[in-house]
């Protein structure tokens, strides 16, 4: 029974979906395609990890080319929808409004509802046993742990990107200050040297 419980938990945690982190260059757009059956629920979660003002354009189109979701300059968002028509759905991330900075975007695309962790769980007449209740509790806790790990992983990546950007700015500023001090020091030395340099009288004049 314990083996069955563990297998059910692992199977439920491996529900259909795709997680991906992509690099979106400036003035570029990346699109992804997924074929879905009619009535299937899908969810798209995304977040900009680094680049510019941490914003991106996103839109989703159904097989008929109809835009069912569109947001501009968003840092993060979540979109859920039930497919009304069978076919290929397209979701795109656009950075075309930016001409200088490229972005790092994370997204999670989940298809379908989460299957029950136990066989015939939705059609049961009797109450769950103590072991089955423990399986359900552990499953919910694992889901919370996975969500927390994803959240903190994205926060860590975002904070690291900001720290690296700040470190680069500080390094360039320090280098600029060093060059300015070097130039000013040389100028002061040359100016002081000119004050103490004796000017020799020019040789000339007729001697008799």
**Model pLDDT, residue 149:** 83
Q: Whole-model pTM? A: 0.64
C-alpha torsion sign, points 184, 186, 187, 189: positive
CATH number given to 14-113? 2.60.120.380
pLDDT at 18: 82
- Residue 46: name the closest of 84, 20, 14 by CA: 20
Residue range 152-186, pLDDT digits in tens = 887 887 788 788 888 888 999 999 999 999 999 99
**Which residues, 6+ apart, have CB-to-CB distance to 121 below 8 Å?**
none
What's the helix, strand, coil split of the chain in %, to 5? 40, 30, 30
Within 8 A by CB and 6+ apart from 89, the residues are 33, 34, 35, 36, 42, 60, 61, 62, 63, 83
Strand-pair category, 56-61 with 67-74? antiparallel
Q: How far apart, in Å, are the Cα atoms of 153 and each of 52, 62, 88, 158?
A: 20, 31, 31, 9
Of 99, 119, 172, 86, the residue nearest 1 (C-alpha):
119
Taking 90 as the threshold, does the pLDDT of residue 88 lie above it? yes
What pLDDT, in 10s, does the model give residues 90-127?
A: 999 999 998 888 899 999 898 877 666 666 655 665 66
Cα–Cα distance list, 32 to 60, 74, 94, 166 (Å): 10, 18, 12, 33
208, pLDDT greater than 80: no
CA end-to-end span of the chain: 129
User: Taking a C-beta distance cutoff of 8 angstroms, is the pair 165, 101 a contact?
Assistant: no
């Amino acid at each position: 029974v314990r083996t069955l419980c563990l297998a059910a938990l692992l199977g439920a945690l491996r529900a259909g979906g795709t997680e991906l982190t992509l690099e979106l260059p400036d003035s570029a757009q990346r699109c992804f395609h997924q074929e879905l059956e009619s009535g299937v629920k899908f969810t798209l979660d995304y977040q900009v990890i680094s680049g510019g003002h941490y914003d991106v354009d996103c839109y989703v189109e159904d097989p008929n080319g109809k835009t069912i979701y569109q947001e501009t300059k968003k840092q993060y968002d979540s979109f859920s929808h039930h497919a009304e028509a069978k076919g290929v759905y397209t979701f795109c991330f656009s950075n075309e409004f930016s001409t200088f900075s490229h972005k790092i975007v994370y997204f999670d695309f989940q298809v379908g509802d989460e299957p029950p962790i136990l066989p015939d769980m939705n059609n049961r007449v009797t109450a769950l046993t103590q072991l089955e209740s423990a399986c359900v509790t552990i499953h919910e806790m694992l889901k919370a742990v996975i969500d927390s790990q994803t959240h903190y992983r994205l926060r860590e990546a975002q904070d690291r990107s900001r720290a690296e950007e700040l470190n680069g700015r500080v390094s360039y500023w320090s280098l600029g200050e060093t060059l300015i001090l070097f130039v000013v020091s040389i100028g002061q030395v040359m100016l002081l040297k000119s004050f103490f340099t004796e000017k020799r009288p020019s040789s000339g004049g007729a001697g008799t």
